[in-house]
Chains A and B, each alone.
Chain A
Amino acid sequence: MTVRNRILILLSAVVALAAVGVASVLHASARADRRNQTQPGGPRVTSGSVTLTTPGRMVFRNMAWGPHRDELTTVPASDPSGPRTASGVKCLRFYAASGTGVCLQAVHGAVSDTYRALILDAHLKEKARYDVPGIPSRARVSPTGRFAAWTAFVGGDSYAGTNFSTRAAIVDVGTGKLIPSLEAFRIVKDGHDYRAPDVNFWGVTFARDDRTFYATLATKGKTYLVRGDLRTRTVTTVHTNVECPSLSPDGTRIAYKKRVPGLSKDAPWRLYVLDLRTMRETPLAETRSVDDQAVWRDSRTVVYALPGDYGADLYEMPADGTGKPRRIGTAAVSPAYLR
């Protein structure tokens, strides 16, 4: 084959492939436009003022298509499927308590996305911001509003890199002092000091005393529930096979996702409640796999997200294993109940 012919073949191949590539990019960006159109039959969303101190309301990330997609939105806790009020503040993950909010955001840079955590006051004004080292996953604020925590996925920086890790950070909202990674804490596992480079933490949940917290610790392929102490900077294992713990308002129980043996690798979790006094595990009524850090609506009810048509839907069910799950809202994630 002459060089000329080879170049001609190459050029035609490049033109054809470029056409396919451009078409796929155009298709995907047209989808972007579609998502900014309100869907008929979707929840009604209007802009308005949102505060974090109005009791009886639920604040969450609105995922319904339209101009307010991804904004922090509020509904009455008693009518979660009712009309939504949007704040204009966009978050990937969110939580709030006692007038303090934590909002994990993506920052679209010129060459890549970065992430940050915003600490918000009761009027959603930014009080502080921190770099988040990877894709945000969980967010929590302590019941008093003094501490905030978040977890991010970090990894995938080598050829076909398949090693991911998590980084869990806690910040003292009052002083602004940040603990960038719980890996700096002393670990007491089964009564002994423990060290390993493969330690990962995620899913922090706070107790009312602003000293105790719970989280998941993973090492050597197993997960543990740890109780943490912010003053002595120590975490102690208390139970195995616990992920994304969520402490009940009275501080006696932990709702969490448990990896149940025998389930498929892609849907391995069921929601359980652990009684911290008796260490008894109670399976909850949801029969689907839940990958979320549950939220306690009150001391009897847990709320969690499952994948839905527009990202995620919110469900609630009793925390004692009875009853049935009930969908309380569509196109919503990261709920926080204002008390």
Chain B
Amino acid sequence: MYVADSRASTPEAPASADGAVRPPAGRRRTAVAPTVLALGTVSLITDVSSEMVTAVLPLYLVAGLGLSPLGFGLLDGIYNGFSALVRLVGGHLADRGGGRHKWVAGLGYGLSAVCKPLLLLAHSLTPIGLILAADRTGKGLRTAPRDALISLSSTPRTRGRAFGVHRAMDTAGALLGPLVAFLILRATVDGYDAVFTVSFCVAVTGVVVLVLFVPGSSSAPAVDKAVRPTLRAALELLRRRDLRRITVCALLLGLATVSDSFVYLLLQHRLGVPDRWFALLPLGTAAAFLLLAIPLGRLADRVGRWRVFLAGHGALLTAYALLLTSWHGAALPYVVLLLHGCFYAATDGVLMATASDSVPEELRSSGLAVVQTGQALARFVCSLGFGAAWTLWGDRTALLASTAALALCAAVSLVLLQPAAREAAA
């Protein structure tokens, strides 16, 4: 767990334009606002719950229910579009009525929680597919309001660190979930019902922590009603030059970010990672993400978020380049996974921290949702393109093409962001 850092004597930011909620003055400042720790705890608990289910789901479908899971992913494409919409709706709902972030996030966490016992009742693919869709709808709803809460409860100068702490806790939960699930399966025979029940109890605990320990909207919502949180206002956010710049860069870089599963497949294809280790590859990325999220978040606060964000894509670029070389040393998988985790640590929370600086408080959720959605859709497009390129030209050429694309997008972003960096420095 993150320990209060006495060196973090960042001078209190003067009442900033976006009026961050200040931590209580007087006592020695803790490094991270209690709200961020509370949200991190909620995410940790929720990820334990959801990853428990994810880890046993294939086994449950095949061994527990005797279903064939093939073709299950057919709807994924359609669902990706829907999930983007849900995220925008979640962001918008959270902004309306003067900041209902907590309650919209709570709705999302609650929806995912009730999906777990429903899994016990469903015994065929269609209802199970619907339940998983509802589960992901819950995730879509809660993401933007949760990130808005994190940004609103930390000062602009410590936002990178706040997001880093949150992402580290979130990832820790994701690593623990499968462990808990398999311990339960070990203690039972076909104990899928026990896994789902425990997953539900864990998810409810997460909701309880959210309700009890995450403060609702600051009693008096921002008096300045210059920007009313309407849907149009959310869209008009893109007319703000700085946010547009961020969104465009996130989109561009997203277009050259090959999806995780392709990275693992490439590792296996190019390095011959044995099958028995294949399932462990995502754990490598997660472990690096967990370890680096806080240090890189702090670094982002110190040297500039854009620099770290772009450096993260540099790490990804290096990983691609390593996969292209003929060096097949034993350390290569570790290095690639470390770089991959480093990419997430330097970009995931850091992007939200940066975007927060450019979105007014009244539209925080909507603004973050716009950036996240843009990035998610760009990555989805990249997956489709990469799949097609792999088909046409084979894995090496496809990777070469995306490496070139990523280098180009990173260069364009560097140029686009120069003014942003200068403004920030001024």
Q: What residues make up the interface of B, taking CB atoms closer than 8 Å to A?
A: 50-51, 53-55, 57-59, 62-63, 66-76, 124-126, 129, 132, 135-136, 139, 174, 178-179, 182-191, 193-194, 197-198, 201-202, 204-205, 208-209, 212-213, 260-261, 264-265, 274-276, 278-279, 282, 387, 390-392, 394
13 contacts between A and B (CB under 8 A): A28-B189, A28-B193, A31-B189, A32-B191, A108-B186, A111-B178, A153-B69, A159-B51, A162-B72, A162-B129, A195-B394, A197-B265, A266-B67
Name B392's closest neighbour in chain A (CB-CB): A195
Q: Bound complex: CA of A159 vs CA of B179, how far in Å?
A: 15
Nearest CB in chain A: distance from B354 CB, A:
24
| Residues in B whose Cβ lies below 8 Å from that of A200 | 70
Name B199's closest neighbour in chain A (CB-CB): A21
Q: Bound complex: CA of A112 vs CA of B55, how far in Å?
A: 9
Contact between A196 and B391, CB atoms less than 8 A apart: yes
Nearest CB in chain B: distance from A18 CB, A:
7
**A interface residues, how many (CB within 8 angstroms):** 58
Which residues of A in the span 87-118 have a Cβ within 8 Å of any Cβ on B?
92, 108, 111-114
Q: Mark A14-41, 1 if CB is under 8 A from B, else 0.
A: 1001101100110111011001000000
Q: Bound complex: CA of A20 vs CA of B139, how far in Å?
A: 25
| Residues in A whose Cβ lies below 8 Å from that of B136 | 159-160
Which residues of A in the span 1-17 have a Cβ within 8 Å of any Cβ on B?
1, 6, 9-10, 13-14, 17
Contact between B50 and A28, CB atoms less than 8 A apart: no
Q: Bound complex: CA of A153 vs CA of B129, how far in Å?
A: 18
| Residues in A whose Cβ lies below 8 Å from that of B204 | 13, 17
Contact between A157 and B282, CB atoms less than 8 A apart: yes
| Residues in B whose Cβ lies below 8 Å from that of A17 | 201-202, 204-205
Q: Bound complex: CA of A135 vs CA of B58, how far in Å?
A: 8
Q: Bound complex: CA of A1 vs CA of B214, how far in Å?
A: 12
Q: A111-B182, A112-B182, A307-B66 are in contact. Are A35 and B58 (CB under 8 A)?
A: no
Which residues of A in the span 286-316 have a Cβ within 8 Å of any Cβ on B?
291, 307, 312
Contact between B188 and A198, CB atoms less than 8 A apart: no
Q: Which of A120-128, A163-171, A228-236 contacts B (4 or more CB under 8 A)?
A: A163-171
Indicate if A249 sits at the interface (CB-CB under 8 A). no
Indicate if A221 sits at the interface (CB-CB under 8 A). yes
Contact between A10 and B68, CB atoms less than 8 A apart: no
Contact between A10 and B189, CB atoms less than 8 A apart: no
Candidate in A131, A154, A155, A265 with the most chain B CB atoms within 10 angstroms: A155
| Residues in B whose Cβ lies below 8 Å from that of A261 | none
Indicate if A132 sits at the interface (CB-CB under 8 A). yes
Q: A113-B59, A265-B125 are in contact. Are A163 and B276 (CB under 8 A)?
A: no
Name B181's closest neighbour in chain A (CB-CB): A112
Q: Bound complex: CA of A32 vs CA of B69, how far in Å?
A: 26
| Residues in A whose Cβ lies below 8 Å from that of B190 | 28, 31
Nearest CB in chain B: distance from A47 CB, A:
21
Contact between B188 and A6, CB atoms less than 8 A apart: no
Q: Bound complex: CA of A218 vs CA of B73, how far in Å?
A: 13
Q: A31-B189, A113-B185 are in contact. Are A25 and B58 (CB under 8 A)?
A: no
| Residues in A whose Cβ lies below 8 Å from that of B201 | 17-18, 20-21
Indicate if A325 sits at the interface (CB-CB under 8 A). no
Q: A28-B194, A158-B54, A221-B71 are in contact. Are A167 and B212 (CB under 8 A)?
A: no
Q: Mark A124-154, 1 if CB is under 8 A from B, else 0.
A: 0000000111110100000000000000011
Contact between B59 and A135, CB atoms less than 8 A apart: yes
Indicate if A262 sits at the interface (CB-CB under 8 A). no
| Residues in A whose Cβ lies below 8 Å from that of B205 | 13-14, 17
Contact between B197 and A155, CB atoms less than 8 A apart: no
Q: Bound complex: CA of A161 vs CA of B124, how far in Å?
A: 17
Contact between B278 and A133, CB atoms less than 8 A apart: yes
Indicate if A180 sits at the interface (CB-CB under 8 A). yes
| Residues in B whose Cβ lies below 8 Å from that of A24 | 193-194, 197-198
Indicate if A56 sits at the interface (CB-CB under 8 A). no
Indicate if A176 sits at the interface (CB-CB under 8 A). no
Q: A25-B187, A25-B194, A28-B191 are in contact. Are A131 and B179 (CB under 8 A)?
A: no
